Chain A
């Protein structure tokens, strides 16, 4: 199928950094005033100098001397712990790390339950878990359980560190053990039910194994516990989309698309500045033929992130619905914004509007930028070549042809006369495939001068209502051409 391209991924991955947490150093900066009874600026100043490393050892020595004089001053131990952890981050000194822990523990002796200190200490142990220190889990769990509800949500659960450690180890060794990872994430959910990360990661893993219902159920459990989590709603929407796609053709599973729209909509008010959400909504509205809404979401996307890619995306949407002037205007805008001449938007929009020579030029740029090409690229080369009397075969031969599915193989076989029309028709199982069947059959009829059959097939392609397929505007274009004859 020839869905429009877009540089953005519509399945945002959970990045390692998210599970690693803010990192101890970042945590220090965030928590800098947590234990302080001193003016905020004073603490920042102390830590800043330590971070800058201008006189870390002097700083530590001075604090050590003060602590020696007043060993029961929690504030001093806190500062000293900070100085040591900054030094440990900078120099990778285990000794400094140990001394940081010792001083933070002393703070907790003197000021039991101090949240800032607990968080700092927890983050140290969490890092140790990720690094594979087996004793760290018990220590981290002990501290974690002492955190009150609010600060608990600001850190990752201890088992999330276990998950990350195991995930990295499995990746390194190449030995996959998914149950082990599932268990770690379930434990993390139990430890921290009010945090969305483990639900999202677990659902993602279920989704990747095509257990969509379990993924959705997991995310919905999360949504019961974590209200107002944009990431959770977005993950649910992603999963619905993926489930729709996994059905073979999302246009045959429009309920899932509606569900996806519903959850993206839930996410928007929580993170109104998220361009990702509006991009997803624009796609889905287009899929549902709600083109006004789709265009509106596209405009928001461009407003939020006026990148060349996003403007080009908007241009393609206009092109799909046949508003060529607007599409080309936006395309020029994207070009001015730096859209690469090799971007597929150029030739696709020109193809849709029947500007074949422009399409040929853009397609040449496009082809030259590709290492391998798809079946649809090869077909595009033929169509553009036929419409312009240009020959792309030399260029095409230099590229490796990639088949992503049996259906693509069938499309190519039909296109290269290795499959009969009937066989091709029998291979088309869903609306998406039928769209392509009708279009490519119609185009063949069109080239053979069987205009009635071509007209019939182009019309049938349009009737599949696969709104984001490029075959749809192309079919419309050739129908217009036929009518004009």
Chain B
């Protein structure tokens, strides 16, 4: 069996670290903190293919019967050989694993870890050790666990401080278990050590062995606060195997891990050694790739086709029908005539008839139920739903295959070396007559067709087909497809109150998350009112309606009304408006909680890019209130953000639009300060501020212009108002009309003199004034 204790710990650790980290990064980037819980939920649903490797706690009697062989030097010797780093919270002194692969390609492994504890935080984190394993394939045994206290005394693990736990996840019935043990008297200055052994009990892929390893020890932080990977003095991995087995491994030279191969008789040995590996600083917005930590994959095959054929053999036998399933197929055939209609009908049928439940105890995690059984049960996990979907599609004449996916929660491992590290299965429909290529995921709870989510976007996939030779990568959506768009219209004034209608439309990750939130939130009305209320803290969301929450074909939208109380004095008082791009980013992004430059230790990744848009209509309370634009939002275009803002005066209202694209970027550490500064510039960029103020002059001007009168008094009044408004050209025209209308009217010449003067016609102006005086005007 290929699953080793070493591998399991490391992989689980990577899974935990990456999953938590990336999830954390993801929602921090894209949604406010308090959305996070709901964001997790759909993710958990995706993680339906449990890791296939893991521990089986060795039967005590069996364990006892084996002689425990310590693979590391005595702890006392180790302690002497290392000078503790006073600055580090904890330091792994030695992490050593020995794996032995036998002729049947079953592995037996022993792993040893010694950690110097140098802080209270590390005391909390390392007091209890948890190792996850899959009881279907693996057997596990803790061989010893000791603590060397600061005064040099040794204390061993107590008999009642070890147990096997089954994690409890709603809707998940599986073989994953955890070996949990608590270490006694861990204190600052202690050194802990433990050694465990694991043995493969079943093979996952016949005639193949593969595994992946981390050179750090990934330790869960206390109280579920993520993981830690402390600096390590020495990390060693030894694999021994029959010399005739070809072992393929990934390149570790970029991590400064030394690889040595040797053969002695019928056995080959490969050793990887890393010295003085730095602590892995886990931070938000890290890359999906695993390249921030030394990582190794080893396999007996270099061909993904071997894995594809294994998976195909595992799944194909379950593509079987029964009468009820045939009945469903016939039913779809009646109404769905085109390939697109058929595909949609399959999606709808599964959404309507099969509830997502993971129920696979005793099956190893990769083998689905029969297609007809899934329909009959009315529930199934990702592979069950995929099998049913593939069955239906094929029967309807649509080419389709299952596809194994590594979801975003697990990051993007190095896929150069084949292995089975997938955690999800969906349907791949290749491009064919009448259809573009589709990646269909039915597991989301009433997700927008075809269920393609950010959780799988850009991730590696193995199309389960005998002919598959390579790993595919799922398409990535452009930033404009991950969008949130706000339309806000101030449209009602009542007494001192004002109201605005709003509509929020979403695409991509925002559509998926907001829809899920709506579906899963227990007090969703209250919750969404509070959420949207953040756009205007001073307003109350007085109406709220969600649309398409259960619609498989139309995007989820939210609409409603804001009520602003006591914002306007009424009558001739001005009404003031303001809006900032940060009112959108504060809700749909998190650009205010970046690490300061000096605290950032990792490159910063925005992935995927996204787009936030708004259109805000500020309306005048009446015709006599006129616009006074005070400040305008600015445009920004740099390596990280593009913000385009426009403002336009329309009849009795002012309309602004904002279009912010947060680009998908991987910001190298050396450029982080620039990114930080640019983000601050965005956060501090100008607001739109404007007011509608009662304008007597303009009101009179409007009245005069609209009354259509051409009498001299109106024309003179109009000229004066134009001058007052600085519309000098217009004033000249109306003054000339006034003189023409009343050639003996002294005041007409007076205003003409003014208008001419302000149009730089100075001699003409002088002449007009003289004429005015000659006609009796007292200048």
Contact = CB atoms under 8 A, between A and B. Distances in A.
Interface stretch (B141-149, B494-502, B750-758): B750-758
Interface stretch (A8-16, A184-192, A270-278): A184-192
A211 B684 contact: no
Contact of A213 (B684, B687, B724, B773): B773
Interface in B461-495: none
A214 B762 contact: yes
A146 interface: yes
B760 A179 contact: yes
A406 interface: no
B180 to A, nearest CB: 43
Given A182-B760, A187-B726, A211-B765, A217 B630 contact: no
B590 interface: no
A209 B760 CA distance: 13
A112 B687 contact: yes
A221 interface: yes
Nearest to B720: A221
B628 A145 contact: yes
A180 to B, nearest CB: 10
A416 to B, nearest CB: 38
B578 A217 contact: no
A214 B684 contact: no
Nearest to A113: B689
B779 interface: yes
B246 interface: no
B629 interface: yes
Contact of A145 (B630, B724, B760, B765): B630
A109 interface: yes
A106 B684 contact: yes
* Main SS class of interface, A: helix
A216 to B, nearest CB: 6
A442 interface: no
A182 B756 CA distance: 13
A206 interface: yes
Nearest to B684: A109
Interface in B679-695: 684, 686-687, 689
Most B CB contacts (10 A, CB to CB) among A112, A179, A209 go to A112
B760 A217 contact: no
Interface in A378-405: none
Interface in A64-116: 105-106, 109, 112
A218 interface: yes
A182 B728 CA distance: 13
Nearest to A240: B779
Given A146-B689, A186-B726, A211 B630 contact: no
B631 interface: yes
A16 B629 CA distance: 30
B356 interface: no
Interface residues of A, number: 24
B725 interface: yes
Given A142-B630, A211-B757, A217 B750 contact: yes
A473 interface: no
B735 to A, nearest CB: 12
Contacts of A105: 684
A195 to B, nearest CB: 14
Contacts of A142: 630-632, 686
B631 A217 contact: no
A218 B760 CA distance: 13
Interface string A345-374: 000000000000000000000000000000
Interface string B746-779: 0000100110011010100110011011000001
Which of B684, B728, B757, B760 has most A Cβ within 10 Å? B757
Given A193-B724, A209-B762, A216 B779 contact: yes
Interface size class of B (residues with CB under 8 A): 20 to 34
Contacts of B726: 186-187, 189-190
B728 A217 contact: no
A107 to B, nearest CB: 12
Contacts of A112: 578, 687, 689
A372 B765 CA distance: 39
Nearest to B769: A213
B723 interface: yes
Contact of B770 (A183, A213, A218): A213
A58 to B, nearest CB: 24
Nearest to B628: A145
A407 B146 CA distance: 121
Contact of B753 (A109, A179, A187, A214): A214
B348 to A, nearest CB: 50
Contacts of B724: 193
Nearest to B762: A211
Contacts of B765: 211, 213-214
A182 B753 CA distance: 15
A213 B779 contact: yes
A401 B762 CA distance: 36
A146 B689 CA distance: 8
A214 B763 CA distance: 10
A217 B753 contact: yes
Interface in A168-206: 179, 182-183, 186-187, 189-190, 193, 206
Given A109-B684, A186-B758, A214 B766 contact: yes
A146 B724 CA distance: 21
A211 B629 contact: no
A366 B468 CA distance: 116
A21 to B, nearest CB: 21
B728 A213 contact: no
Contacts of B754: 214, 217-218, 221
A193 B726 CA distance: 10
Nearest to A102: B684
A121 B584 CA distance: 28
A432 B88 CA distance: 102
Given A112-B578, A112-B687, A193-B724, A213 B766 contact: yes
A218 B765 CA distance: 12
Contacts of A221: 723, 754
B767 to A, nearest CB: 10
Contact of B757 (A109, A145, A189, A218): A218
B594 to A, nearest CB: 14
B696 to A, nearest CB: 12
A213 B753 contact: yes
A190 B725 CA distance: 7
Contacts of A187: 726
A187 B727 CA distance: 10
A101 to B, nearest CB: 12
B689 A206 contact: no
Contacts of B772: 213
Residue in B632, B772, B779 whose Cβ sees the most chain A Cβ within 10 Å? B779
Nearest to A217: B754
Nearest to A255: B778
Contacts of A217: 750, 753-754, 757, 769, 779
Interface in B221-237: none
A138 B632 CA distance: 11
Interface in A106-153: 106, 109, 112, 142, 145-146
Interface in B617-642: 628-632
A158 B724 CA distance: 18
Contacts of A206: 757, 762
A267 B728 CA distance: 30
Nearest to A148: B574
A298 B338 CA distance: 106
Q: What 4 pairs across the A-B complex have the smallest Cβ distances?
A: A213-B769, A190-B726, A214-B757, A146-B630
10 contacts: A109-B684, A142-B630, A145-B628, A189-B726, A211-B766, A214-B753, A214-B762, A214-B766, A216-B779, A218-B757
Given A182-B760, A211-B766, 19 more contacts: A109-B684, A112-B687, A142-B630, A145-B631, A179-B760, A182-B758, A186-B758, A193-B724, A206-B762, A209-B762, A211-B757, A211-B765, A213-B765, A214-B762, A216-B779, A217-B757, A217-B769, A218-B757, A221-B754
